[in-house]
Protein backbone atom coordinates (compact mmCIF):
# COMPACT_ATOMS: atom_id res chain seq x y z
CA UNK A 1 0.00 0.00 0.00
CA UNK A 2 2.84 2.39 0.86
CA UNK A 3 4.45 1.53 -2.48
CA UNK A 4 1.36 2.69 -4.38
CA UNK A 5 1.12 5.91 -2.35
CA UNK A 6 4.73 6.74 -3.18
CA UNK A 7 4.09 6.11 -6.87
CA UNK A 8 0.96 8.27 -6.80
CA UNK A 9 2.81 11.08 -4.99
CA UNK A 10 5.61 10.85 -7.53
CA UNK A 11 3.26 10.81 -10.54
CA UNK A 12 0.89 13.54 -9.30
CA UNK A 13 3.11 16.52 -10.26
CA UNK A 14 3.73 15.05 -13.72
CA UNK A 15 0.01 14.45 -14.23
CA UNK A 16 -0.86 18.00 -13.09
CA UNK A 17 1.80 19.42 -15.40
CA UNK A 18 0.46 17.40 -18.36
CA UNK A 19 -3.14 18.48 -17.69
CA UNK A 20 -2.03 22.12 -17.40
CA UNK A 21 -0.13 21.88 -20.70
CA UNK A 22 -3.10 20.19 -22.40
CA UNK A 23 -5.45 22.89 -21.09
CA UNK A 24 -3.30 25.66 -22.57
CA UNK A 25 -2.89 23.82 -25.87
CA UNK A 26 -6.63 23.25 -26.24
CA UNK A 27 -7.44 26.86 -25.32
CA UNK A 28 -5.74 28.13 -28.52
CA UNK A 29 -8.70 28.11 -30.90
CA UNK A 30 -7.06 29.26 -34.15
CA UNK A 31 -3.63 29.76 -35.74
CA UNK A 32 -3.42 33.46 -34.82
CA UNK A 33 -3.99 32.60 -31.16
CA UNK A 34 -1.13 30.11 -31.47
CA UNK A 35 1.08 32.73 -33.13
CA UNK A 36 0.41 35.35 -30.45
CA UNK A 37 0.81 32.83 -27.63
CA UNK A 38 4.16 31.66 -29.05
CA UNK A 39 5.57 35.13 -28.29
CA UNK A 40 3.36 36.41 -25.45
CA UNK A 41 2.66 33.23 -23.49
CA UNK A 42 4.37 32.14 -20.30
CA UNK A 43 7.04 29.48 -19.95
CA UNK A 44 4.65 26.84 -21.28
CA UNK A 45 4.86 28.39 -24.76
CA UNK A 46 8.22 26.71 -25.29
CA UNK A 47 6.58 23.32 -24.88
CA UNK A 48 3.33 24.05 -26.71
CA UNK A 49 4.51 25.71 -29.95
CA UNK A 50 7.64 27.04 -31.65
CA UNK A 51 8.41 30.76 -31.38
CA UNK A 52 6.79 32.80 -34.14
CA UNK A 53 9.83 35.05 -34.64
CA UNK A 54 11.96 31.96 -35.31
CA UNK A 55 9.38 30.66 -37.80
CA UNK A 56 9.75 33.82 -39.94
CA UNK A 57 13.53 33.68 -39.89
CA UNK A 58 14.33 36.21 -37.17
CA UNK A 59 16.98 35.43 -34.59
CA UNK A 60 16.37 38.62 -32.62
CA UNK A 61 14.77 38.11 -29.21
CA UNK A 62 11.78 40.18 -28.15
CA UNK A 63 12.74 41.87 -24.89
CA UNK A 64 10.15 41.77 -22.15
CA UNK A 65 10.24 45.57 -21.59
CA UNK A 66 9.35 46.36 -25.23
CA UNK A 67 5.64 47.15 -25.70
CA UNK A 68 5.73 46.45 -29.42
CA UNK A 69 8.18 45.31 -32.07
CA UNK A 70 8.31 45.17 -35.87
CA UNK A 71 9.84 42.02 -37.32
CA UNK A 72 10.52 41.57 -41.05
CA UNK A 73 10.06 38.19 -42.73
CA UNK A 74 13.30 36.76 -44.08
CA UNK A 75 14.06 36.85 -47.80
CA UNK A 76 13.88 33.07 -47.84
CA UNK A 77 10.12 33.42 -47.32
CA UNK A 78 9.34 36.41 -49.56
CA UNK A 79 11.05 37.23 -52.88
CA UNK A 80 13.44 40.13 -53.51
CA UNK A 81 10.82 42.61 -54.76
CA UNK A 82 8.51 41.93 -51.79
CA UNK A 83 8.59 43.06 -48.17
CA UNK A 84 6.53 41.59 -45.36
CA UNK A 85 6.71 42.52 -41.69
CA UNK A 86 4.64 42.06 -38.57
CA UNK A 87 3.85 44.63 -35.88
CA UNK A 88 3.49 42.72 -32.61
CA UNK A 89 2.19 44.00 -29.27
CA UNK A 90 2.85 42.58 -25.80
CA UNK A 91 -0.54 43.63 -24.42
CA UNK A 92 -2.75 42.83 -27.42
CA UNK A 93 -3.53 39.99 -29.81
CA UNK A 94 -4.44 42.42 -32.59
CA UNK A 95 -1.21 42.14 -34.56
CA UNK A 96 -0.77 43.75 -37.99
CA UNK A 97 1.07 42.31 -40.99
CA UNK A 98 2.30 44.82 -43.58
CA UNK A 99 3.04 43.76 -47.17
CA UNK A 100 4.52 45.67 -50.14
CA UNK A 101 5.57 44.57 -53.62
CA UNK A 102 7.33 46.58 -56.33
CA UNK A 103 5.53 46.04 -59.64
CA UNK A 104 7.74 48.48 -61.56
CA UNK A 105 10.49 50.96 -60.76
CA UNK A 106 9.09 53.37 -58.16
CA UNK A 107 5.63 51.69 -58.24
CA UNK A 108 4.56 49.84 -55.10
CA UNK A 109 1.38 47.98 -54.20
CA UNK A 110 0.75 47.42 -50.52
CA UNK A 111 -1.78 46.33 -47.96
CA UNK A 112 -2.07 45.00 -44.44
CA UNK A 113 -3.78 42.21 -42.55
CA UNK A 114 -4.87 42.78 -38.97
CA UNK A 115 -6.14 40.15 -36.59
CA UNK A 116 -9.28 41.22 -34.73
CA UNK A 117 -9.15 39.00 -31.64
CA UNK A 118 -12.65 40.00 -30.51
CA UNK A 119 -14.37 38.97 -33.76
CA UNK A 120 -11.78 36.29 -34.66
CA UNK A 121 -11.29 37.83 -38.10
CA UNK A 122 -8.03 38.16 -40.02
CA UNK A 123 -8.94 41.26 -42.04
CA UNK A 124 -7.26 42.84 -45.06
CA UNK A 125 -7.05 46.62 -44.98
CA UNK A 126 -5.16 49.64 -46.30
CA UNK A 127 -4.96 48.54 -49.95
CA UNK A 128 -2.98 51.12 -51.98
CA UNK A 129 -0.72 51.78 -54.95
CA UNK A 130 2.11 54.27 -54.51
CA UNK A 131 3.54 56.12 -57.51
CA UNK A 132 5.74 59.25 -57.59
CA UNK A 133 4.79 60.18 -54.03
CA UNK A 134 1.05 59.82 -54.70
CA UNK A 135 -1.13 57.09 -53.19
CA UNK A 136 -4.07 55.56 -55.06
CA UNK A 137 -6.95 53.62 -53.53
CA UNK A 138 -10.22 52.09 -54.69
CA UNK A 139 -11.04 52.39 -58.39
CA UNK A 140 -8.03 54.67 -58.95
CA UNK A 141 -5.79 51.85 -57.73
CA UNK A 142 -7.38 49.46 -60.25
CA UNK A 143 -6.98 52.05 -63.04
CA UNK A 144 -3.30 52.47 -62.19
CA UNK A 145 -2.77 48.69 -62.04
CA UNK A 146 -4.20 48.33 -65.55
CA UNK A 147 -1.38 50.45 -66.95
CA UNK A 148 1.05 47.77 -65.70
CA UNK A 149 -0.95 44.83 -67.06
CA UNK A 150 -2.46 43.90 -63.72
CA UNK A 151 -6.06 43.80 -62.51
CA UNK A 152 -8.39 42.82 -59.71
CA UNK A 153 -7.65 39.11 -60.28
CA UNK A 154 -3.90 39.71 -59.83
CA UNK A 155 -4.63 41.69 -56.66
CA UNK A 156 -6.76 38.88 -55.27
CA UNK A 157 -4.13 36.23 -56.08
CA UNK A 158 -1.44 38.36 -54.46
CA UNK A 159 -3.59 38.88 -51.34
CA UNK A 160 -4.33 35.16 -51.03
CA UNK A 161 -0.64 34.32 -51.53
CA UNK A 162 0.37 36.65 -48.71
CA UNK A 163 -2.14 35.12 -46.27
CA UNK A 164 -2.12 31.48 -47.32
CA UNK A 165 1.53 31.02 -48.29
CA UNK A 166 3.55 33.67 -46.47
CA UNK A 167 1.74 34.33 -43.19
CA UNK A 168 -0.25 31.20 -42.34
CA UNK A 169 1.68 28.79 -44.59
CA UNK A 170 4.99 29.72 -42.96
CA UNK A 171 3.45 29.21 -39.51
CA UNK A 172 2.02 25.79 -40.44
CA UNK A 173 5.39 24.74 -41.83
CA UNK A 174 7.77 26.21 -39.23
CA UNK A 175 5.62 26.87 -36.17
CA UNK A 176 2.68 24.56 -35.53
CA UNK A 177 0.80 22.16 -37.79
CA UNK A 178 -2.21 21.78 -35.50
CA UNK A 179 -4.29 23.99 -37.80
CA UNK A 180 -4.24 24.26 -41.61
CA UNK A 181 -5.78 26.29 -44.44
CA UNK A 182 -8.67 23.80 -44.42
CA UNK A 183 -9.01 24.05 -40.64
CA UNK A 184 -8.59 27.60 -39.32
CA UNK A 185 -10.43 26.85 -36.08
CA UNK A 186 -12.79 29.70 -35.17
CA UNK A 187 -10.94 32.27 -37.32
CA UNK A 188 -12.19 33.72 -40.60
CA UNK A 189 -10.22 35.54 -43.31
CA UNK A 190 -11.85 38.68 -44.71
CA UNK A 191 -10.44 40.24 -47.87
CA UNK A 192 -10.78 43.89 -48.88
CA UNK A 193 -14.05 44.50 -50.76
CA UNK A 194 -12.08 45.95 -53.69
CA UNK A 195 -10.68 42.56 -54.65
CA UNK A 196 -13.99 40.72 -54.44
CA UNK A 197 -15.60 40.17 -57.83
CA UNK A 198 -18.73 42.25 -58.36
Q: Quick one: angle between helices 138-146 and 152-160, nearest 10?
A: 100
Average pLDDT over residues 40-56: 68
Give the residue extent of every domain in the chain.
2-195
Please report the pLDDT score of residue 79 as a whole number: 86
Average pLDDT over residues 105-128: 95
Please report the pLDDT score of residue 110 as a whole number: 97
Q: How far is CA 71 from CA 20, 30, 32, 46, in A?
A: 31, 21, 16, 20
Of the listed ranges 8-12, 48-52, 63-67, 113-117, the least confidently predicted one is 8-12
Q: How confident is the model at residue 25 (pLDDT cuts 50, 70, 90)?
A: low
Q: What are phi and psi of 19, to 5 degrees?
A: -65, -40
pTM of the model: 0.84
Mean pLDDT, the chain, as a whole number? Answer: 83
Please report the pLDDT score of residue 123 as a whole number: 96
Confidence check: pLDDT of 35 > 70: yes
Amino acid sequence: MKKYRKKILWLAPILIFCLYWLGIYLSLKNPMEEIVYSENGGMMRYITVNRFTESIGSLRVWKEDEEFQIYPYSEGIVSGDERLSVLMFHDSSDWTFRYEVDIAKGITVGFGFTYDSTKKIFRQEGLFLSKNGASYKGQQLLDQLATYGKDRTWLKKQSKKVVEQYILGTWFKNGSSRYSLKNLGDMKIEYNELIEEK
